Amino acid sequence: MAANSHPTSRKDSDDRPQEHPRHNWRPELAAGLSRRLRMAMAALGLRQKKLIGELRYTQPAVSRLVRGASYSIPLDIAVALCQWADGAGISVRWLMTGEGEMLKKEPTEQ
């Protein structure tokens, strides 16, 4: 083993971060979701304590989402987050990917 390599290192030989070994979720994805979640909360005037109640998850779990401190999001929390966003008028596509507009467009009446 090379002198400067470490068996638990998560870097390639060219120093780019690798994906977390247990999940297909990278820190930059968590940071993007976290940033968009904070933007949505600000647009709605929503504080973290209220979001905790609306999602019905623990303070530590929601705090990790808001801070972008998780390598993964459990499926049940992701579903709850999408349902919350949809009900709050936030585009789920925007929240999860950053694509499109933050606020859902009202359907046009015909």
Closest C-alpha among 17, 13, 14 to residue 26: 17
The reply to whether 65 falls in a domain is: yes
pLDDT of residue 98: 92
Between CA 22 and CA 52 the distance in angstroms is: 26
CATH code: domain of residue 70? 1.10.260.40
The reply to whether 12 falls in a domain is: no
pLDDT digits (tens, 9 = 90+) for 27-81: 667 788 899 999 999 999 999 999 999 999 899 989 988 988 877 788 888 899 9
The reply to whether 19 falls in a domain is: no
For residue 11, list its beta bridge partners.
17
Closest C-alpha among 48, 26, 53, 21 to residue 37: 48
The reply to whether 86 falls in a domain is: yes
Which residue range forms the structural domain that includes residue 87?
27-97
Tally the domains of the chain: 1
Burial class (CB in 10 A: 0-12, 13-18, 19+), 65: buried
Between CA 102 and CA 60 the distance in angstroms is: 25
